[in-house]
Structure 1
């Protein structure tokens, strides 16, 4: 039987994990360091050699009970992680001139891949961060051409640039967010309240010409206007088509409408449009449906924020010598709700020591 773990499920997992840091009965997470001795061939309690790698080629971590025991055995100390140390993140993709980006589409999947070959929306190259740490969603890529104009507008409206690309401003990183949650591979993601307030559920903005048809005629000029976009709208949208050599070469949404979860444009409506001369058939026009509540309403969900980044610094001697500066360490990790030694009380102090001394007689 076929099965799928959906992107919504992944985002829900990220939400639950992130919220657990700030709930009323919050979970206590600590960053720990350990393994003060070098990676090398070691021996287990029975004297059997265990090859652990080297400091220049450390071993790949294992998800086993034994590995968990070893992590506790060589743990040195730990520092609590606050809710302010946690952020949703998305893959970092710097805008670069000459790059062809994917445009947002509601149906990217196997059999309907994006231009990049992605078969999942969140694997597609449809969002970028510019040189000002502003993040944008690509609404249209000028029929799969290279982007040569950097998006910079922070208006709530979709910006059409000189290279034919259309970009939707989503949010900006603050200086602190850029320092704490911008790495080589990932960047912070959050929803801009102004952008969210301007979003319109089911408002249309993009129509892709899959097939232009033939023999479309006009009474004058090169465009047919006033064409309704049909579907399950609450407010009807309209578009204009451009005719070149009898075929539809482009479609422009002139009235975005609202409330669409599916939409289509009939060839008969093109033929009956303003300035049409009654001929033509065979077009296939794909109407792109925006995410629920509209572009920009929830950047985390729209851009695939199912990754979570934790940023915690260990600066010199921490706590009452809980985090020492006199030892090397080779292992880092997270522990959840650790107990204070000898009790069943969950630790809450900023730092904790995971060392003990056995004194002989």
Structure 2
């Protein structure tokens, strides 16, 4: 049957665009991580997006997606290509919550070449590219699709300077195309690339999911295949098997259960440190990374924060008769390289304590030992 013939074609398509030997897939964001701050790239290119103004993760047809409020929610990311695109494909699923008075951007590139995929002010899906000094906009045709609220749509758009054309697809079907002047090439700017916003705002009010970018122009069979394979893109072997953060668990936000999220440990470092998301004790000093940062104020990547030769972790025994600390190891004062022991546990180091065996006394101004 025709269906079976198409399945055979899909097998060929899968082997050509989702194999280990196809490097043109620059990024693939599934939004399935529970991390609220990052949009993790499932390819080995690690094109990580940073959430701005708290877009939220919501359940979608294919796991989780990212909901944007149409006012100021978005995600931004650095260059995907390290040079301007001359061949380009963008793919996304989108569901609108409300229309906006302006263009609602699903995905926009700026520093890789200015392109925008989204919904125009008349509520039609649209693809725009600034090439040469001309803004090319996919025209409204008899096949154009007017977006309805609360309905999931699959969008894909291609731009090709070798073919001098841009195309827009909705649900795997070509709905619009426009020729490009042969001498024109895509224009860039210094801004980020964006999800849910354009270069100058143009925010989306809706949910996006399963966004992918290729640095070549996919053909119609390939676009149809991607539309029919929303859950994992076939056998693409370069996808990371975890959540995109080193070797962490794809099901956990805090793989090593140390109180720090995987992204905070590896990428953000808002606490000032990059730590191991698979090890609660990065510097192996016996102290949990979270405790070192937020309880003790020590360096979780250095087992001797004050460099006095004594580890940050401090241990001791209590003499039941005297009540004093014995067998002291490590550093009772990990932020002070002048002291390390505190036998009477009065908070004053032994070498600064005039009465190191008396927790009620520490100073002796006249040196009379009283």
TM-score relative to the length of structure 1: 0.24
TM-score relative to the length of structure 2: 0.24
